Amino acid sequence: GAGVSQSPRYKVAKRGQDVALRCDPISGHVSLFWYQQALGQGPEFLTYFQNEAQLDKSGLPSDRFFAERPEGSVSTLKIQRTQQEDSAVYLCASSLAMGGSFTGELFFGEGSRLTVL
Amino acid sequence: GQQVMQIPQYQHVQEGEDFTTYCNSSTTLSNIQWYKQRPGGHPVFLIQLVKSGEVKKQKRLTFQFGEAKKNSSLHITATQTTDVGTYFCAANAGNNRKLIWGLGTSLAVNP
């Protein structure tokens, strides 16, 4: 597709349920990032992939959060045993940049809004 | 950890007035990017600054990167209602591809 696609756009989960959020980046974009954005806050880094390799997962808040990108394109962010504090918008972004210290222009998806009851 | 401080947090202006948001870091930045996020939307890339003292313009928007590469500003001349949104700065520091984001400046424009 022309842009970054995320699904579902909205997800309501009961506390303790597992959720999976999908990101389909722009074709050919090597780098993929996941961010968490709470209401009224800036995006908080979760994890970063270059192709299928997860190069940085330092932002994942706990071991309940897991991300993968097995074939270097689509990525899935999984949250196990969801808690109320996990409620946020989860943003996926991709970029052409590879290597070096520059992230490059990030193209964001519309986000997945997770509400945990 | 490393932080990028962004001020002000909120700004209300009358249409036609100018607007400026500032980002400051205690450490030298490799580059800085600016994004705009409309209410209910996602961040959209505006610009990237790399060189010390760099100034870039996009129509009514002027972006500056400080000489020491520790601060940056975004200035909007003669604001319009279409400028409403939250403006974020985000920076790379050192050899780290993880962008450090400011908390954003929310701009409201009264017609």
Q: Does the beta-carbon distance from A103 to B41 stay under 8 Å?
A: no
Of A33, A56, A108, the CB nearest to B42: A108
CB A93 within 8 A of CB A108: yes
Residues of chain B with pLDDT under 50: none
Alpha-carbon gap, residue A67 to A45, rounded angstroms: 13
Q: What is the DSSP letter of A10?
A: E
Closest C-alpha to A103, from A25, A33, A3: A33
Distance from CA of A106 to the nearest CA of B (A): 7
Q: Stretch A15-30: mean pLDDT, rounded?
A: 96
Share of chain A above pLDDT 70, in %: 96
Average pLDDT, chain A: 93
Where residue A54 falls among pLDDT bands split at 50, 70, 90?
Answer: very high
Q: Stretch A74-93: mean pLDDT, rounded?
A: 97
Q: Tens digits of per-residue pLDDT, A23-50? A: 999 999 999 999 999 988 889 999 999 9
Alpha-carbon gap, residue B81 to A59, rounded angstroms: 35
